[in-house]
Every structure is written in C-alpha cells, then in structure tokens.
Amino acid sequence: MNHTFLGIAYFIAFSHACLMAFSLFSRSDKNGAGKILALMVLIMGYKLFEGGVLYTQSYTTLGHFMGLLPGAALLFGPVFFLYTCKVTGYFPLALRYWPLHFIPAAALWLYQSEGLWRSLEEKSAMWDNVLASTGPSVLPVAVVAILIGMKIHLGTYLWFSWRSIGQFEDASESLRADNSHALLVRLRVTVMALFALEAVWVLLFLAQQFAGIITLSLVSDIWLLCVAFFVLTLGYFGLQKPDLVFEPEEKTLYQTLHSESPQAAVTDEGAEKVKYLHSALPENTLNAIASELETKIKQQQLYLDDKLSLTKLANITEIRSHTLSQVINQSMNTNFYKLINGYRVQHAVALIDDNNIDWPLERIALESGFGNRVTFVKAFKDVMQYTPSAYKKRSISEEKTGT
C-alpha cells in the first residue's frame, strides 16, 4: 500500500477528528457528556496523526510529537466508560476515585518514558527502520503480553459500557420522545463494532507473531483505517445530541420500574401488569388520570416542547412519574415516545394540510415539536404510513384534483 497515500489519508482523518472534537466541545454544556466525547475523539485522532507523520516521513521534523500516548487504548477504555456513565447517570465509583482507572495508562507511560527524551535524530532513525521493515517482526514475549493485556483492558471497559447503554436503550422510549433511543442504539452498535475491531486486531497480531502470515505494519494499517472510520462515526452521532444525559430522576424511575418486575419470565401480554403489580391505583382511577392527561396535553399543547420528557411532563401535570408511566403504558396502551410524537404528527399534518401555510418540512417539524428531522420522518411514517414528503405531495395532488 502506498505510504504517501496512507499518510495523507490519516492526516485528513486527523483534521476531521479535530473539527469534530472542537464542535462537540463548543456545543456541549458545562461539564456535559459532549466534552468527554470530544476527548475520546481526540485520543483516537492522535493515533491518526501519528500514522500521518510516519507515512509522510514528517517525523524528521515532528518526531518529538510521536509516541506521547503509548497506552492510548488504556486511556480510551476508561474515558469511554466515563462517557457512558455520564449519559446514564451510573457511577460505580465516586468521581474522586476515577483517577484510579488511569493507573495502567500512567504506569505504561512511565515504563516507556525513556524513549521520549531521545534526540530527534535517534527517533528519525528508529522510524526509518520501521518503514524499511518488510518482513515479519517478532516482538519479545513480554511486549506481546503487554499489548494483548491492553486490548483485554479496553475490551473490559467496552463491555461495561455496552451493558450500561443497553439498560437505558430499553427504557428510553418510555422516558423520552426525541431521538435518544435511536442514538443509544447506534452508540451500542458502535461499541460492539469497536469490540469486534479489537478482537480482529488480536487475531491478526497473533497470526503475525506466531505464524508470520502478515507484517506488523499491515496489522497497524488495518487497525488505523478502521479507527478513522470510528472517529467519524462517534463524532457524527455525538453532534446529533452532544449532551445526551439521563437525569437522576429518570434513572430512579427506570430502576423502580425494573425492580418491580419479578425474575421469572412473563408473557408480553402480562408484562405491563406485572411491572405495576404493587400499584394501589384501581383501573377506573387510572382511566380518569389518562383522560385528564390527554386533556392537558392537547389544551396546553405540551407536545410542542421538543425537550419534553416523562419526568418533565410529570412536573407540569403534577402527576408522579411512576403513576404517569403506568397510565401511559397500561391505560393508554402505548409508551411515552409514541404518545407524544403521535400528537406532534397530528399537528404536522394540520400544518401540511393548511392551504395558508407553505412552510418547508424542516420548519413544520420544528413547529410541531420535533427536535430533528430523523425523529420527525420516523414518527410520521409510523402514524401516517407515508413519509412527510410523500404525504405532502399526495395532499397537493388531491387538492389539485379536488379529491
């Protein structure tokens, strides 16, 4: 593979990583999750920078900027887990103990810190040898063990992150009416893909070390190219909702509802009844609350608030979050996402059908309470069996033909 082409590709990916990190940082609230995501993108972007310097042979001038993060994987795992903890509100350790997670990264940095103080000429000669190497490079057993240990360390944090995200992925449609669920699904898939990437790296690395099938540089190239893709993926998802965070009250509600469910499996039909088994509210009371809830939502047009959540609706209507969840799921036979977006779609349909309004669909989505086009299109199609653009064309066609 052409080294110059690879170097340019890595520099382009690095520049994109810097832009995404800056956008995430600037668009995030103070102490928001987006700032942690920006740090992750920068860590991955730094490895792309190293690849670009190596393959364009810029190390003759930039050599002192290489090798500053020898344990990037040991950093990325804890930082990614910190991000998922920030999103879900689950912190297994108090914040003052979080530096303990970075002890392995610090230890490796100190172990390899001697190489940082070499002269530029010595570093350039080392990288020249790396580029000139064409055959299999067999590393000492201790180095192989350290590298495999780093991947196991990262994989462990990815697994904890995947499990943490999965808990709120299941609950998000009962708590939110925005695109939080879709973003959590994509984030969880990204975690699985990262885990698979690290597993593939381990297999390729072991094949290179013990079977001499491929070269070490090819293993690094494959890994870095995949990292470039994940940088863009993480940045893109993060920019859609930089501060995707579940509030403590939402976390408490989720835990309460799930703690009420017995360990034994239940049928889908009886799942909701089992979940609210300990509720003291009779069915007629729940139906009365459901009627009152519908009236308040319609009269006050609460669905037009694009940041409306179950807990926020509970505060507005002065109904306990737990009761509100039971009413929506058990009496109204739906979830919070479908309920609120159903009203939003009705509002959007009224705007589209209004002959005095000629707004683009993006504005109609915003005026109807949708915070983004993706959620608007998905919810609209679920309710109307048409995409918004198809429905608008159909509405215009029917108006012209008088049908």
Q: What is the DSSP string of 29-47?
A: PTT-HHHHHHHHHHHHHHH
Q: Enter the pTM of the model.
A: 0.79
Model pLDDT, residue 360: 92
Task: Using the predicted structure, report yes or no on whether residue 273 has a pLDDT greater than 70.
Answer: no
Supply the pLDDT for residue 342: 95
- The pLDDT tens digits for 120-179 are 999 999 888 888 876 667 788 888 898 899 999 999 999 999 988 887 777 788 888 888
Distance in angstroms between the alpha carbons of the first and the last residue of the chain = 62
Contact call for residues 45 and 21 (beta carbons, < 8 A):
yes
**Which whole number is the average pLDDT over 59-88?**
89
**How many residues are recorded in the chain?**
403
* Tens-digit pLDDT profile for residues 342-381: 999 999 999 999 888 889 999 999 999 998 888 899 999 9
Task: Pick the more confident residue, 130 or 42.
Answer: 42
pLDDT for 376:
93
Span 233-252, mean pLDDT? 70
C-alpha–C-alpha distance, residues 290 and 29, integer Å: 35
From the list 248, 402, 379, 237, the residue with the least C-alpha distance to 311 is: 248
Q: Which amino acid is at 18?
A: C
What residue has token string 């990437």?
197
Instruction: Give the count of beta carbons closer than 10 Å to the beta carbon of residue 394.
Output: 13
Q: H helices of 211-309, where?
A: 216-240, 248-259, 268-275, 283-299
**Domains parsed from the chain with CATH numbers:** 3-248 (1.20.1070), 280-401 (1.10.10.60)
